Chains A and B, each alone.
Chain A
Amino acid sequence: MSRILPLVAFLVLASLFGFGIWWNTQHDQTAIASPLINKPAPSFDLPVLGDPSRSVSKASLLGKPYLLNVFASWCIECVHEHPLLMTEVKSLGVDLVGYNYKDDPAEASAWIEQHGNPFTMIIADRDGRKAIDFGVYAAPETFLVDARGVIRYKRIGPITQDVIDREIKPAIAALAMEKR
């Protein structure tokens, strides 16, 4: 028995490290699980991008679910997820609200002009202070907010087809189930 003990110890350690590697490929190490899931979204009242005279508040969006996509013209990953927003996410059956994060309004508008506008509306948080209430720490991030204004899901990092199929679609389907 004691002769095979080193082998057993080796196998235990190897499987532990193997599990660690597998776990890291499945999970984004930079993503911090948001404590805001299933909590009411923070109230906000932010100006519309390109039209600061108008503003959008949390209250005005109550009544139907929406996806809130945090983006910026300086954000490199946003360029990568944008084509999916233009096609797939737009057709998920919920409003897609753009949250322009710490951006110059002119640059943001030019960026939207260049890459297309998938958003129902775009609100601008120029100094990024309201984003702290949302627990935003990088772009892109995407929130699913339900009709009662509760955050139901958060994606940190770019949206991929896989994320849409495995996470966002089921989350939206769950909301539709509740309604009935």
Chain B
Amino acid sequence: MLRILLATVALLIATTVFAQAIEPLPFKNHAEEIRYQQLTAKLRCPMCQNETLADSNAPIARDLRHQIFDMMQAGKTDEEIKTFLVDRYSNFVLYDPPLERDTLLLWFGPAVILVIGAIVVVMQVRRRARAAAGATPGASIDIDTGDDW
């Protein structure tokens, strides 16, 4: 009984392991396979918007994975492979877009909005403090009720 249970568990583990190897590529060693998986997980499929090249089942994603594999076999570095793809498919393929003129808003937009928000809050707080200090205690309550949004 125990043996059957163990065999079942072993089988289940084995199937989950093999489920990830959708297309077995002839890697030279495990390190190369890890590098390939990390690289394809950092690149975006041009066809399917929100899937990585590693995850996507789109035909173009498969072709690009093969292209990446071939380039790795040819001794290309990760940067060279990324440049190859960016030259053809633009920065869209990068999940981590580089800092450029076109991406300034993307990189610093949130920080700018945060700073504007902070300035507005500081101005409001100061104005209210001034209003509260200038008015009688009774009057300041009236001002607050009118402002409670």
Contacts and interface: CB of A to CB of B under 8 A. Distances in A.
Interface of A: 2-3, 5-6, 29-30, 32-36, 102, 127-129, 131-138
Contacts, number: 44
B149 A137 contact: no
B47 A2 contact: no
Interface in B44-75: 46-47, 49, 59-60, 63-64, 67
B92 interface: yes
B90 A132 contact: no
Nearest to A133: B88
Nearest to A32: B92
B49 A30 contact: yes
Contacts of B59: 102, 128
Nearest to A138: B47
How many of chain B's residues touch chain A, expressed as a range? 10 to 19
Consensus secondary structure, chain B interface? helix
Nearest to A3: B146
Given A32-B46, A128-B59, A137 B89 contact: yes
Contact of B67 (A2, A32, A102, A129): A129
A164 B29 CA distance: 51
A138 B59 CA distance: 9
Given A32-B46, A35-B90, 12 more contacts: A32-B89, A32-B90, A32-B92, A34-B90, A128-B59, A128-B60, A129-B63, A131-B63, A132-B67, A135-B89, A137-B47, A138-B60
